[in-house]
A and B are shown apart, each in its own frame.
Chain A
Amino acid sequence: MANETEEQDLKDDKEPDQSRRNFLKNTGYAVGGLIVGGVVGSLLRTPKKPTTNTGNTAVNKPPAAETVNFNQALMYFTQEQFLITEAATERLFPADDNGPGAKEIGVAYYIDHQLAGEWGTNGKEYMQGPFFKGETTQGYQGRLKRREIFDIGLQEMQNYSNKKFQKKFKDLTPEQQDTVLKAFETDEVKLTTISASGFFKTLFGSTLEGVYADPLYGGNGNMAGWKLKNFPGNQMSYTKIIEQDKFEKMPPVSLREHLPHG
């Protein structure tokens, strides 16, 4: 609720954020306006330092960009698994004229962190037996969890690289790496434990997640993924541009901006 204390907070703000003020005014949350639930009330309490809500380039400084990124360590992968993943995802989403690729964006860290958590253990999925091989229309029916599938899939990529090119996957030329990935994508690699194409699909899907998910998850470093697509990230309101014909480029904002820091 926009109670008196919050209104006071707003008045006390030494560096009023114009975009936030405009937003409040436009949406009828300003003092004397309609009193509605808690999120907006919370917004009134957020930090004094500038936070972006609209396309105001002056306030788009990525916070603490130059400090050490403590997030770049491993929660699940071995170093070998990490290096294979890093090399593979860079081929799936390579650096080019448009901008950085998966490696620079931090996709392998993202995948590592995801495998360490609920997604890696299929925590919210039905994993009870009995297990039967179903029709493709019935979806995944295996008993292995995602992190087990990655363990096997990455090892098989290494095996295939060693067999075909006598080198580890990370040491192959980009073209050779593509050959390996293609062999997995098309099930040319015959595996008995997991589906090679199923593993490839998960690897590719999680690569896109690592490129485009909020940077809080360890990928999309510096919001580079969003910048590629001119995606503005977490904006509070688009009422001003929703009817506009001209394409609106605005610097992206991440969820970090929603909390006070420092």
Chain B
Amino acid sequence: MATKLPKTDVVIVGVGWGGGIIASELTKNGLSVVGLERGKERKTEDYYMVHDELRYALRYEMFQDLSKETITFRGNEKIKALPMRSYGSFLLGDGLGGSGVHWNGQTFRFLPYDFEIKSKTVERYGKSKIPDGMVIQDWGITYDQLEPYFNKFEKTAGISGEENPLGGKRSEKYPTPPMKITPGMKLFSESCKGLSYHPYHMPSANLSEQYTNPDGIARAACQYCGYCERFGCEYGAKADPVVTVIPVAINTGKFELRTHSNVRRILHKGGKATGVMYIDTTTGEEYEQPADIVVMTSYVFNNVRLLLMSDIGKPYDPKTGTGVIGKNYAYQVLKGAGIGFYEDKEFNIFAGAGSLGMCIDDFNGDNFDHKDLKFIHGANISYSQTGARPIQNNTVPPGTPTWGKDYKAASVKYANRHLNVGAQGSCMPFQHHYLDLDPNYKDEFGDPLMRITFDFEDQDRELVKYMGAKCGEILKQMGADKVVANTELAPYEITTYQSTHNTGGVIMGDSPDTSAVNNYLQMWDAENLFVIGASAFPHNSGYNPTGTVGALAYRAAEGILKYHKKPGSLV
């Protein structure tokens, strides 16, 4: 029997970027907030020994313990989904700050095209451009409506950057100047200019200089140490929730953070959430935390899973395309890429930062003509220098033996003699890509695991073919002696790392028939329940998602405050 705790104004489920932003904005405005985080507390001091590639990058120090909970996967509905037994394709965050701690910090704004993708695609190319089964839809919000919230997130995080010449209009400059320029970045930039493209600095949460944000939080500059993605930052230079928004919430005295608290159900009655049920994982005891407003801010999979397990919202049915919870699961299409090998030039690529790079959007969104192409949308193409750590970076030219003397010689020779250019491809939703509860496999509490049904489509294969060639073309211009471009995309598989950019499942939109939440991320079916995160994306763009997640979280915070003042309806 669960112990019932005193009621609070707001309870949030998961304390990463989403939870941290909601907590700071609401507590600043006087609301009492309880934050439930299933993992442990994290702080900058934890990273004293962080320059340990084995422990953090290969043994997954910061990630969810899969022995307790994982996901299952299948390529299509005809085969049995099986558990992801060890990590591969993506890495699930755990602990205070969530995925916001171990990210690279590449902080883009989605394009104006993204938010009105269906209307704009039909307007320019006609309805027939959208193939059967592709279920793109407008987001129920425009870029211009979301712009102030992008701006707010960028100021909180202290994003370092320069204006994207092909991006949406900005109301203000980035709060800090761009990161430093490495020789590889210079080569990329000059080569792109030579090809009449529009290079710009990758917007970076690594912090180019010392910065104090509007909440009074001061952070030091990035040291380019080369340990960002999969690691925490020992300088607190990389913006993460633990060094930005969470302390702001705590300092108000209105935020109560409870770690080791794993939420298993959203409680509800008569179409409204009443609170949550969670387990204190240190004792196994169950608690009920009642609240006026419930905000779900865990990763994509747990947002969807909790809603389905709690019987909130209509589960998605892939046969009819009706229902909303679990709909429009999407990912990232990354195989369009190239490697350039240099015989006589060594680069200091052991140094770097998670978001140190140059990129172009000439082939992203609808910035180029798709009339004669067999795909829509595109990719951000970039050269980034994130730190070539030695276990995971053994790049050798094709034809090199896979082990032994020649392999060793080549992997040593090219360790600092290669540059990568990659395309971060967008991913469109299809009717048969979705999330639901697995019928066979359970987590440590006996609850069903999330099941992913997903594969790459012709759209993705065409995109990779096109983008891989562009990457190769840029590398040739960059003077590489040998260029290897990948233009092929095999079926999606779960074993090799691609990207932790999983999206969809609780998508936003302008109608309860086709979306789960409105453009304040408020559930259509439960007015005091808000669901924050990339779970709200109806498709995934050719960018990293966090910038847009941050913007949507600030927008949702505003909606929650409005709702709190005047409950009883949709914002």
Are A214 and B66 in touch, CB under 8 angstroms? no
Q: Would you list which residues of chain A between 220 and 240 have a CB under 8 Å from chain B?
A: 225-226, 228-239
Nearest-Cβ distance from residue B513 to partner chain A, whole angstroms: 33
Are B234 and A39 in touch, CB under 8 angstroms? yes
With A39-B235, A138-B82 already in contact, the answer to whether A91 and B70 are too (CB < 8 A) is: no
Are B220 and A28 in touch, CB under 8 angstroms? yes
Set of chain B residues within 8 Å of A125, measured between Cβ atoms:
66-67, 85-86
With A34-B218, A258-B48 already in contact, the answer to whether A98 and B408 are too (CB < 8 A) is: yes
Nearest-Cβ distance from residue A81 to partner chain B, whole angstroms: 20
Nearest-Cβ distance from residue A29 to partner chain B, whole angstroms: 7
Interface-located stretch among A9-17, A57-65, A126-134, A165-173: A126-134
Are A242 and B45 in touch, CB under 8 angstroms? no
Are A124 and B43 in touch, CB under 8 angstroms? no
Are B390 and A226 in touch, CB under 8 angstroms? yes
Nearest-Cβ distance from residue A133 to partner chain B, whole angstroms: 9
CA distance A237 to B234 in the complex (A): 11
Set of chain B residues within 8 Å of A139, measured between Cβ atoms:
82, 84-86, 88, 493-495
- Contact among B51, B54, B60, B405 with A234 in the assembled complex (CB-CB below 8 Å): B51
Set of chain B residues within 8 Å of A141, measured between Cβ atoms:
82-83, 85
Q: Is B270 an interface residue (CB 8 A)?
A: no
With A38-B45, A39-B235, A242-B351 already in contact, the answer to whether A231 and B492 are too (CB < 8 A) is: no
Are A209 and B54 in touch, CB under 8 angstroms? yes
Q: Mark A83-120, 1 if CB is under 8 A from B, else 0.
A: 00000000111101011010000000000000000110
CA distance A51 to B418 in the complex (A): 31
Q: Is A69 an interface residue (CB 8 A)?
A: no
- Contact among A38, A101, A230 with B416 in the assembled complex (CB-CB below 8 Å): A230
Q: Could you tell me how many residues of chain A have their Cβ less than 8 Å away from some Cβ of chain B? A: 73
Q: What residue of chain A has the Cβ atom nearest to residue B411's Cβ?
A: A229
Q: Is the interface of B mostly helix, strand, loop or mixed?
A: loop
Q: Is B327 an interface residue (CB 8 A)?
A: no
Nearest-Cβ distance from residue B263 to partner chain A, whole angstroms: 20
Q: Is B481 an interface residue (CB 8 A)?
A: no
Q: Could you tell me how many residues of chain B have their Cβ less than 8 Å away from some Cβ of chain A? A: 75
Q: Is B225 an interface residue (CB 8 A)?
A: yes
Q: Is the interface of A mostly helix, strand, loop or mixed?
A: loop
Interface-located stretch among A72-80, A156-164, A187-195, A244-252: A244-252
Set of chain A residues within 8 Å of B51, measured between Cβ atoms:
214, 233-235, 255
CA distance A127 to B352 in the complex (A): 37
Set of chain B residues within 8 Å of A248, measured between Cβ atoms:
348
Set of chain A residues within 8 Å of B218, measured between Cβ atoms:
34-36
Are A204 and B403 in touch, CB under 8 angstroms? yes
Are B82 and A96 in touch, CB under 8 angstroms? no
Are B45 and A42 in touch, CB under 8 angstroms? yes
**Which of A28, A42, A242, A248 has the largest number of chain B CB atoms within 10 A?**
A242
Q: Is B265 an interface residue (CB 8 A)?
A: no
Q: Is A148 an interface residue (CB 8 A)?
A: no
Nearest-Cβ distance from residue A9 to partner chain B, whole angstroms: 16
Are B221 and A28 in touch, CB under 8 angstroms? yes
* Pairs A–B under 8 Å by Cβ, sample size 15: A37-B235, A40-B220, A93-B404, A94-B404, A98-B409, A126-B70, A137-B73, A141-B85, A208-B391, A208-B394, A212-B391, A229-B416, A231-B415, A238-B351, A242-B180
6 more CB-based (< 8 A) A-B contacts, given A34-B218, A39-B48, A140-B495: A36-B236, A91-B404, A96-B408, A126-B84, A126-B86, A130-B440
A residues near B, CB below 8 A? Answer: 27-29, 34-40, 42, 91-94, 96, 98-99, 101, 118-119, 122-128, 130, 132, 134-141, 178, 181, 185, 204, 208-209, 211-214, 216-217, 225-226, 228-239, 241-245, 247-248, 255, 258
